[in-house]
Amino acid sequence: MMDRARPILWRRYLPFRPPLTPQQEGQPRILPTPLEWVDTMLIERKTNKEEEAMIPTRTVHRPERGVTWIEWDDGSKAEYSVRGGIAWPVAVEADVGRRVVGYAVIAGVNVATDRVTVFDHHEFNVVEASDKPRLVAFGPLALRWWSTYYALRYYWRQEAETAWTFRTSIHRSPSILPKPTFTAINWDNEAAAESVIWQTVADNRLSVDKELLEMFKLYDGKPWSPPKHALLCCLVGMQRYPWHEPVGRD
């Protein structure tokens, strides 16, 4: 087994606890909108000691178990099943105007607690780096997430021609090695699929950073939100293909 220790880029992680309306007897709780989560989390951030930065200091790939062992600077350590979600670049409306943008997230399920932590996330526009500084390439992101978290599997759900175009470019690129695996997932009802996010939040099983919440805010109220779609694909994929303890062979 190869043990690779390295300094790792880090983010601040927030316990994703959405605010709930005051609950009266006999009345259901109502989950807030993403924009309401942002405002509440920024307020809680000032006083919640659990929001201190967690810096991963060492990772070990354990392919025989399908996990990555991660040690944090506070002394905690755990095994994670690491996957990603991806929204392929399309023309979208955002607060900054109309532009072509995609998004990818990398998250890990703590196999002992079933809690999901979003380790990293980033928007992108193209597959390979170009001489245009405003265009972000997916290739370097994929290589960084492999070398850091040993993440190769990404879940997606989008128009087939768009996905085929980008997937073909990735597989033809000589600079992207090892090749990521892209698994299509489908759902019949968008609102029902989004309930996966809300339920994970309500169960207090999702940790994200401030920046992702801000990205949600950027697309709040828009018809298409790349960061939300990427997170949704990741969570639905994790739910549909859960990690299982390997069974030993005789």
pLDDT digits (tens, 9 = 90+) for 20-49: 444 444 444 444 444 444 444 433 433 333
Give the C-alpha separation, 213 to 201, whole Å: 13
Query: Is 192 part of any domain?
Result: yes
Tell whether the model's pLDDT for residue 126 goes beyond 80: yes
Quick check: is 250 in a domain? no
Note the pLDDT of residue 72: 84
Counting Cα atoms < 13 Å in the Cβ hemisphere of 128 gives: 10
Whole-number average pLDDT of the chain: 79
In a domain, 81, yes or no: yes
Please name the amino acid found at residue 213: L
Confidence of residue 19 (pLDDT cuts 50, 70, 90): very low
Is residue 248 assigned to a domain?
Answer: no
Q: Which residue has the tokens 């960084």?
A: 144
3-state secondary structure of 213: helix
Task: Name the domain count of the chain.
Answer: 1
Specify the length of the chain in residues. Answer: 250
| pLDDT at position 43 | 37
222, part of any domain: yes
209-222: average pLDDT: 86
The pLDDT assigned to 110 comes to 96
pLDDT for position 231: 94
pLDDT tens, 139-151? 999 999 999 999 9
Q: Is the pLDDT of residue 13 over 70?
A: no
Tokens of 25: 């007897």
Task: Answer whether residue 246 is part of any domain.
Answer: no
Residue 83 lies in a domain: yes
Average pLDDT value for residue range 67-84: 92
Domain interval for residue 26? 3-240
Q: Is residue 26 part of a domain?
A: yes
Please report the pLDDT score of residue 25 as a whole number: 44
**Residue 2: is its pLDDT beyond 80?**
no
pLDDT digits (tens, 9 = 90+) for 51-66: 344 568 899 999 999 9
- Higher pLDDT pick, 233 / 10: 233
pLDDT of residue 41: 42
pLDDT of residue 22: 46
Tokens of 54: 């967690």
Q: Scanning the structure block, which residue is given the tokens 């128009």?
A: 159
Q: Are 201 and 31 in contact (CB under 8 A)?
A: yes
pLDDT tens sequence across 86-96 = 999 998 876 66
